[in-house]
């Protein structure tokens, strides 16, 4: 039996257990119940300076059950799938429900919204990799980094990880669905020194398919290039200047936007974008489309964690906010319908029209002209209630469209409403290693606090 067959067989066995758990919950008096389980197995190796630091085999998972009785909710979980353990866990959830308050907004997602026959998104590409092969690949990555330049003086190591697993979800509305998936990654962290200056940086690659990973030598060399570019960083005077977020961290800007339009913050009235639906929150040139069903993509899913079918959506159209991000609970709190976002977003595609389509990275630097290019952010100084934004940053000072020198120990600040509306251009240098596909972002003006 192949590893692929093993995962599929485990998935089918867990489906049987989930169905049994739902039946037991009903027999114990639950009005409704939902059960979810995920399992992951795989291999992760860490090497440093040519030596193996860790070899870790993973094989874990847990089953969670939530029951609803007379408007009350109880939840429990177990990693033991024996009949006795399942019964005890379900009984615990039923007992917990006796002591919780009635909440008319809790409960299963509406039946008509469920994904009863989810489509296959081609997310499962397991790789049979021996420990020796994994170690060799990690060493190759680190070796290429260490030999790249004499200023590369140390390493925090390279990591090769390959995982496969599955998710199963079922509820008392007759839904019982699941799918297998895989994820592979390689990363390398290097340290460079010159004089009294020492810097640290990294590079990584991630894919559903092992063959979709970037070459080990390339990742090692990329890590060295990144850290070398940061040597002899300078501070700059405090001033308001145009700021460009490089593509690999530009998604953090939209991450704050996600928090602001998520149902939990909205019904608690703790978002700076309350009552923003249908209003302009970005410039007219910006559009954000969600595409949950992209084959092999890292954030693809046919259904959310409540079993609700995912679908293509326009999140922002010509700068206008078209939808909130809602779970069943937050939707009921707001008098709306769930948008299938329990558990997060699914492949956001950020695009800009006209002159705001900024072109590749070099073209975006030309648009920036003179200002600050951000390549690293530190700290969590973001207030989603009022939109205040202040984070430590590092990157490069740019003059006349060319990188002049590295910059460290500065803070960039502003208000997210102004940052969103101050967006000038979006690059075509799209980073697809996450759930938000965006190029570099150019903001017209932010406070950069240095000397």
Percent of the chain with pLDDT over 70: 99
| Same domain (yes/no): 363, 267 | yes
Question: In 335-379, which residue ranges form alpha helices assigned H by DSSP?
Answer: 361-368
Query: Across residues 403-425, what is the average pLDDT?
Result: 97
Query: Across residues 19-23, what is the average pLDDT?
Result: 95
Residue 319 within a domain: yes
**Which parts of 20-50 are beta strand (E)?**
32-48
Predicted TM-score of the model (pTM): 0.94
| Same domain (yes/no): 159, 245 | no
Beta-bridge partners for 398? 371, 403
CA distance 337 to 290: 17
DSSP letter at 438 equals B
How many Cβ atoms from other residues are within 10 Å of residue 156's Cβ?
Answer: 18
Residue 4 has pLDDT above 80, yes or no: no
Task: Report the candidate in 229, 164, 219, 157 with the shortest Cα–Cα distance to residue 190.
Answer: 157
Query: Across residues 159-163, what is the average pLDDT?
Result: 97
CA distance 316 to 277: 10
Task: Read off the tokens for 290.
Answer: 């969600």
Residue 112 within a domain: yes
pLDDT at residue 323 in the model: 98
Residue 218 within a domain: yes
Give the end of a domain, one of 178, 199, 228. Answer: 228
Which tens digits make up the pLDDT trace of 416-447? 999 999 999 999 999 999 999 999 999 999 99
Q: Which helix (H) or strand (E) holds 20?
A: helix 3-27
CA distance 120 to 108: 24
| Same domain (yes/no): 303, 405 | yes
Query: Across residues 19-24, what is the average pLDDT?
Result: 95
pLDDT at residue 81 in the model: 87
| Same domain (yes/no): 19, 72 | yes
Query: Across residues 15-27, what is the average pLDDT?
Result: 95
Mean pLDDT, the chain, integer: 96
| Same domain (yes/no): 163, 312 | no
Residue 233 within a domain: no
Query: Across residues 230-241, what is the average pLDDT?
Result: 95
Which tens digits make up the pLDDT trace of 172-184? 999 999 999 999 9
Give the end of a domain, one of 188, 208, 228. Answer: 228
Residue 394 has pLDDT above 70, yes or no: yes
Q: Total structural domains in the chain?
A: 2
CA distance 183 to 193: 34
How many Cβ atoms from other residues are within 10 Å of residue 133's Cβ?
Answer: 15
| Same domain (yes/no): 206, 275 | no
Which tens digits make up the pLDDT trace of 329-346? 999 999 999 999 999 999
**Residues 350/314, Cβ–Cβ less than 8 Å:** no
Coil/strand/helix, residue 94: helix
Helix-helix angle 131-146:216-228, to 10 degrees = 40
Residue 349 within a domain: yes
φ, ψ of residue 4 in degrees (nearest 5): -60, -45
How many Cβ atoms from other residues are within 10 Å of residue 371's Cβ?
Answer: 24
Give the end of a domain, one of 163, 194, 228. Answer: 228
CA distance 408 to 197: 12
Residue 79 within a domain: yes
| Same domain (yes/no): 190, 85 | yes
| Same domain (yes/no): 27, 151 | yes
Task: Report the candidate in 323, 206, 232, 229 with the shortest Cα–Cα distance to residue 276.
Answer: 323
How many Cβ atoms from other residues are within 10 Å of residue 237's Cβ?
Answer: 9
**Beta strands 239-245 and 197-207, pairing class:** unpaired
**Beta strands 423-426 and 313-317, pairing class:** unpaired
How many Cβ atoms from other residues are within 10 Å of residue 120's Cβ?
Answer: 11
Which tens digits make up the pLDDT trace of 350-368? 999 999 999 999 999 999 9
| Same domain (yes/no): 175, 250 | no
| Same domain (yes/no): 175, 76 | yes
CATH label of the domain that carries residue 31: 3.30.2290.10
| Same domain (yes/no): 25, 48 | yes
Task: Report the candidate in 104, 25, 107, 36 with the shortest Cα–Cα distance to residue 68.
Answer: 107
Query: Across residues 226-238, what is the average pLDDT?
Result: 95
Quickly state the pLDDT bin for 2 (edges 50, 70, 90): low
* Enclosing domain of residue 24: 3-228
Measured torsion, CA atoms of residues 40, 42, 48, 51, in degrees rounded to the nearest 10: 150
Measured torsion, CA atoms of residues 90, 94, 97, 99, in degrees rounded to the nearest 10: -120
| Same domain (yes/no): 148, 290 | no
Between the two ends of the chain, the Cα-to-Cα distance in Å is 64
Residue 234 within a domain: no
Residue 311 within a domain: yes
Coil/strand/helix, residue 363: helix
pLDDT at residue 380 in the model: 85
Quickly state the pLDDT bin for 313 (edges 50, 70, 90): very high
**Residues 372/442, Cβ–Cβ less than 8 Å:** no
Residue 3 has pLDDT above 80, yes or no: no
pLDDT at residue 413 in the model: 97
């Amino acid at each position: 039996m192949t590893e692929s067959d093993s995962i599929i067989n485990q998935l089918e066995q867990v489906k049987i257990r989930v169905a049994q758990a739902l039946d037991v919950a009903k027999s114990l008096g639950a009005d409704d119940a939902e059960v979810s389980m995920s399992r992951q197995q795989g291999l992760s190796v860490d090497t440093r300076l040519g030596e193996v630091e860790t070899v870790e085999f993973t094989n874990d998972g847990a089953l969670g059950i939530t029951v609803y009785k007379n408007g009350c909710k109880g939840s429990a979980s177990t990693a033991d799938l024996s009949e006795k353990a399942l019964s005890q866990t379900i009984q615990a959830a039923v007992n917990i429900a006796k002591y919780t308050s009635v909440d008319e907004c809790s409960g299963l997602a509406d039946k008509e919204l469920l994904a009863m026959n989810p489509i296959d998104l081609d997310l499962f590409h397991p790789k049979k990799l021996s420990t020796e092969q994994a170690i060799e690949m990690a060493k190759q990555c680190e070796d290429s980094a260490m030999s790249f330049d004499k200023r590369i003086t140390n390493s925090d190591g390279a990591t090769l990880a390959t995982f496969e697993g599955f998710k199963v979800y079922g509820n008392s509305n007759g839904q019982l669905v699941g799918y297998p998936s895989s994820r592979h990654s390689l990363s390398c962290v290097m340290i460079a020194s010159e004089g009294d200056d020492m810097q640290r940086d990294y590079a990584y690659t991630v894919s559903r398919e092992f063959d979709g990973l970037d070459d080990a030598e390339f990742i090692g060399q990329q890590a060295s290039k990144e850290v070398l570019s940061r040597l002899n960083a300078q501070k700059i005077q405090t001033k308001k200047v145009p700021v460009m977020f490089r593509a690999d961290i530009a998604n953090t800007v939209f991450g704050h936007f996600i928090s602001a339009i998520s149902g939990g913050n909205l019904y608690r009235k703790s978002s700076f974008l309350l009552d923003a639906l249908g209003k302009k929150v970005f410039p007219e040139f910006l559009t954000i489309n969600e595409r949950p069903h992209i084959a092999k993509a890292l954030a693809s899913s046919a259904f959310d964690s409540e079993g609700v079918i995912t679908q293509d959506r326009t999140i922002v159209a010509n700068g206008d906010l078209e939808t909130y991000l809602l779970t069943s609970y937050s939707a009921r709190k707001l008098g709306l319908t769930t948008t299938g976002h329990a558990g997060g977003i699914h492949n956001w595609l950020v695009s800009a029209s006209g002159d705001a389509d900024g072109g590749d990275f070099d073209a975006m630097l030309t648009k920036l002209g003179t200002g600050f290019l951000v390549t690293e952010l530190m700290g969590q100084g973001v207030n989603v209630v009022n939109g205040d934004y202040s984070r430590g940053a590092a990157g490069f000072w740019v003059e006349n469209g060319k990188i002049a020198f590295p910059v460290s120990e500065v803070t960039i600040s502003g208000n997210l409403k102004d940052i969103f509306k101050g967006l000038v251009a979006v690059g075509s240098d799209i980073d697809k290693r996450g759930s938000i596909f965006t190029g570099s972002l150019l903001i017209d003006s932010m406070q950069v606090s240095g000397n």
